[in-house]
Amino acid sequence: MSAETHPVQTLTITAPDDWHLHLRDGAALATTVPHAAASVRRAICMPNLVPPVTTTAQALAYRERILAQVPADLRQCFEPLMTLYLTDNTSPSEIDAAMASGVVRAVKLYPAGATTNSAEGVTNIDHCTDVLAKMESVGLPLLVHGEVTHAHVDIFDREKRFIDDVLINIINKFPALKIVFEHITTSDAADFVLAQGKQVAATITPQHLLMNRNDLLVGGIKPHLYCLPVLKRQSHQQVLLDVATSGNPKFFMGTDSAPHATHAKENACGCAGCYTAPFALALYAEAFERMGKLDKLEGFCGVYGARFYGLPVNTDTITLVRTPWQVPTSYPYLDGHSLTPLLAGQTLNWQVQTDAPQTADLPTAG
């Protein structure tokens, strides 16, 4: 679908939340937390640290480290929502502790070896039966990185195989378990989510809406477009655009923004992940406008995720303005290193309105 004949110049929507975000830890937080806090009101913070966040006590400590890096003027505007990293040895009692904490909002399933810092993930979902039963009974959502890791399975088929081999079995055994199928990348995943009850939802990243595997591979491999799950065919991209912009509350914003130092991305064995946190809303606006569906952006970014998690929808708003600006070529990161964002140096048409002129360093959501 083509963009509108008379383009919208401003768009005021409910302030957004990011339901899938990587902040990392230690010195990285000095960069990632201010970016996130200026861009969204709440963020589901991923637990794949080194070592991973496997207990409620660790999640609470991590939350304090995050909050310590929130700029003073944003401390009333940003709330980190914590998650636990599911392992073969996670206990039902840990789920009780998570619920009692009031800040742990989900548990993350990483198949062992599927992505960054997932070596301690689940080796066999059957090891987690008691934990999943407890989560189902107390209403704590399961977030899934939906790929199998078998070496013989083609990387472009791993999401579909996860549905067939793992996810269907989880849903059959635990039909009331709330599940977020994170960063879906295929029509198979979109169709699967659509076919399930209201307890199953999905997040979609900006890169999977704006790009496909041609962008990654044609003319040479682009390391800053490499993420997991990997970008798929254009036909899959189109289905993701269709469902994201449909107004169906099963699909909502989850950037999977993942920081890696530039030298680690531009490497013979580069890291997987795209960094989009400072300007993700502008990227989503680009995608929705291409579909002529800017009117659906508010639900996707600011409403549906909160409702799925049983949280109040934000009461404040942000305004996007059509003002072209250039994505920074890099951000300072980790003691003299740099962090290259997605679409570095390229022009975006949308930005969040601020009291001051937009800077190249940090788009804000104020």
Active site residues: 256
Is pLDDT of 276 > 60? yes
Longest Cα–Cα distance of the chain, Å, equals 57
Confidence of residue 110 (pLDDT cuts 50, 70, 90): very high
23 is annotated as contributing to ligand binding? yes
Question: Residue 335: what pLDDT?
Answer: 84
210 is annotated as contributing to ligand binding? no
256 is annotated as contributing to ligand binding? yes
Q: What global pTM score does this model have?
A: 0.93
Is pLDDT of 366 > 80? no
Q: Residue 224 and residue 284: Cα distance in Å, rounded?
A: 18
337 is annotated as contributing to ligand binding? no
The yes/no answer on whether domain 16-313 falls in CATH 3.20.20.140 is yes
CA R_g for the chain:
19
108 is annotated as contributing to ligand binding? yes
Contacts of 18 (CB under 8 A, 6+ apart): 36, 39, 40, 42, 43, 44, 253, 254, 255, 257, 277, 280
Is pLDDT of 357 > 80? no
20 is annotated as contributing to ligand binding? yes
Is pLDDT of 98 > 90? yes
Map residue 305 onto helix, strand or coil. helix
Question: Residue 354: what pLDDT?
Answer: 78
Structure tokens given for 157? 């088929």
Is pLDDT of 25 > 60? yes
User: Which DSSP letter does residue 320 get?
Assistant: E
- In order of 29, 184, 296, the CA distances from 247 in angstroms are 34, 17, 6
Average pLDDT over residues 241-249: 98
Angle at 55 between CA 54 and CA 58, to 5 degrees: 95
Q: What amino acid occupies position 64?
A: E
Query: Domains of the chain: which residue ranges?
Result: 16-313
130 is annotated as contributing to ligand binding? no
Confidence of residue 2 (pLDDT cuts 50, 70, 90): very low
48 is annotated as contributing to ligand binding? yes
Is pLDDT of 362 > 90? no
